[in-house]
Structure 1
Amino acid sequence: MVYTKNLVAVCAGRDAVRAAAQGMQVLHLCLGLSENGALERRQLPAMQRGCFLGLCDPPRGLRLCNPERLALDLAFEAKRVNAPGVFADFERETAQTLALLRAFDEALAEDGIPLYVPVNIGRDLEHAVLTVSTALSGGSLTAYFSSLQGIYGAHRVAAFLQPVSQDFTLPSASPDGKPLSAAARAALLAETGAQVFFSHELCARYFTYTDREGAAHFVLFDDADTLAAKLAQLTGCGVQTVFALYPDAAGLIPS
């Protein structure tokens, strides 16, 4: 069974229209900040009222004067389009981005609008929903999310469903392996004849092989079935919102 009620398709441009036409909840990456610290609207069609608003990472040359004023502008925009939430897609943790997020957190909470932020830069916020990637290379998917729910509360933990396809040389001291395209992975499987297994803990597929230099490798990857299984596991442990890039999300919608 595929769970879709808590699935939100992350879109830009025309993909937002396509996703909405398929009946999906939509997060539209349609807002940004100018270098002068003003909120900018980027391709927000009138038909996209009611979608989550996505705010792109601020420019490196951002000159910010008034985070509180910008937060009020963001809250006004969210109310104007009846957005069920705002996703701040911030990647860089700087003094300016943290000041912005604190101001957003307070202004949106006052209006009852959830703010979603990546967990790595949102841990110190009081109200924000912390968004956590599912691209794990070790441990247990459900145990990881359950531990975060225990710390922050189930209502403050969301997921970002991110397919993984990585090649790890063993032993590996890093949680990140060498990225593999689907074509490269298929060629590797054909060359090595490796058997593919399913990890219930990671909710992903994997195989092992030995390269021509004798080094052992571990390849971890997702496909449509593992993404559906991850969505079901996350739903089962009470994750109320799961974001996924379009078209990854489209593959999880029953035809």
Structure 2
Amino acid sequence: MDVNGGKRIMNFTDNMVLVCTGRDTARAAGSGLKVLHLCLGVTENGALRRTQLPTAKARSYLGLCDLPRQLQTVNAPRIAADLTYEAKRTEALGVFADFERDVPVCRELLAAVDKALFEADIPFYVPIASRQAVQHATLTVDTAISGGSLTERVSSLQGMYGAKRIAAFLHPVSSDFVLPSETPDGTVLSPEERQALLNRTGSQTFFSRELCAKYFTYTDENSRAHFVLFDDDTTMQAKLAQLSGCGVRTVFALYPDAERLLNLP
């Protein structure tokens, strides 16, 4: 794979699912690719609700947004049954739970949904952080890592849970780390902030095959060393190639990120 240009990874789009909300959903459906529509949520009273109507232009995955933070209890079996009914009614390709918190009420609901969708033979996807709440769901791995190796991470999880239970979320990274870094996150930089920093420092960029991302280093006015890790179109393509090589069969990507990468209309 030529990270400095080369051919675009277009043959992998059969495995890509565009994650959308609002107006992006109709535009993404027009691309001919699969779409994940984040159109479902749970009310403060613990009932399933539609935040938007699913797109009628294409069969899609249904996305369930995270629970309200003030919600302490839910009727998990009822929500699971309602969600299963909605997935069947819309002939959804699957359901994705976009949960970011690992708290008891989320685990309870995920476990009930996992059971109901498995019995209905409907694919279910959750973030890897929610793995302890489910027995059957496919686990999605974020590609935005700041240490180790992307290929080794995916391969290790496939060995633990089975290759068919691992999917990926193509998430571009752009972060500034003060070295030595005490967190895996760093300070998020916009593309404009990163380019301005690169212009000011005159640093040279390099490509990390392990992280599958580009980076540069600089020293600030307080003599602190910094490590800036970032993605662009070429590294996103390289990540798709690595995921394909690992046998990952489903890759989710936010529509704005995939739009430029794949030259979508």
Residues 1:143 and 2:127 aligned together: no
Could you tell me whether the CA contact under 8 Å between 2:107 and 2:133 is conserved in 1? Answer: no
Deviation at 1:229, TM superposition (A): 1.0
Give distance in 1, aligned partners of 2:70 and 2:175: 33
Unaligned runs of 5+ in 1: none
- Of the three residues 195, 210, 224, the one matched with 2:233 is 224
Could you tell me whether the CA contact under 8 Å between 1:105 and 1:115 is conserved in 2? Answer: yes
Deviation at 1:45, TM superposition (A): 4.3
1:88-118 CA-partner distances (Å, limit 9, x unpaired): 1111222111110000000000111111111
Give distance in 1, aligned partners of 2:151 and 2:205: 22
Could you tell me whether the CA contact under 8 Å between 1:49 and 1:83 is conserved in 2? Answer: no
- Of the three residues 221, 237, 243, the one matched with 2:246 is 237
Look up the match of 1:154: 163
Q: Secondary structure at the match of 2:13?
A: coil
Could you tell me whether the CA contact under 8 Å between 1:49 and 1:81 is conserved in 2? Answer: no
Could you tell me whether the CA contact under 8 Å between 1:36 and 1:63 is conserved in 2? Answer: no
Look up the match of 1:188: 197
In the TM superposition, 1:1-255 aligns within 5 A as 1-2=8-9, 3-45=12-54, 47-48=56-57, 50-62=59-71, 64-254=73-263
1:168-196 CA-partner distances (Å, limit 9, x unpaired): 11111221111111111111111111001
Deviation at 1:236, TM superposition (A): 1.2
1:195-254 CA-partner distances (Å, limit 9, x unpaired): 011111111000011111111111000011111110111111011111111111122325
Runs of 4 or more, structure 1, over 4 Å off, are none
TM-score by length of 1: 0.96
Deviation at 1:49, TM superposition (A): 5.1
Give distance in 2, aligned partners of 1:65 and 1:221: 40
**Percent identity, aligned pairs only?**
60
Q: Secondary structure at the match of 2:257?
A: coil
Give distance in 2, aligned partners of 1:63 and 1:218: 40
What is the count of residue pairs matched by the alignment?
Answer: 255
Shift in CA distance, 63/187, structure 1 to aligned 2, threshold 3 Å? closer
Unaligned runs of 5+ in 2: 1-7
Deviation at 1:26, TM superposition (A): 0.4
Give distance in 2, aligned partners of 1:172 and 1:61: 33
Give distance in 1, aligned partners of 2:122 and 2:193: 43
RMSD over aligned Cα, in angstroms?
1.4
Shift in CA distance, 185/82, structure 1 to aligned 2, threshold 3 Å? same
Give distance in 1, aligned partners of 2:54 and 2:248: 29
Counterpart amino acid of 1:138? G
Q: Secondary structure at the match of 2:192?
A: helix
Give distance in 2, aligned partners of 1:244 and 1:192: 32
TM-score by length of 2: 0.92
Deviation at 1:68, TM superposition (A): 0.9
Counterpart amino acid of 2:70? G
Counterpart amino acid of 1:19? A
Give distance in 2, aligned partners of 1:238 and 1:74: 29
Give distance in 1, aligned partners of 2:19 and 2:55: 18
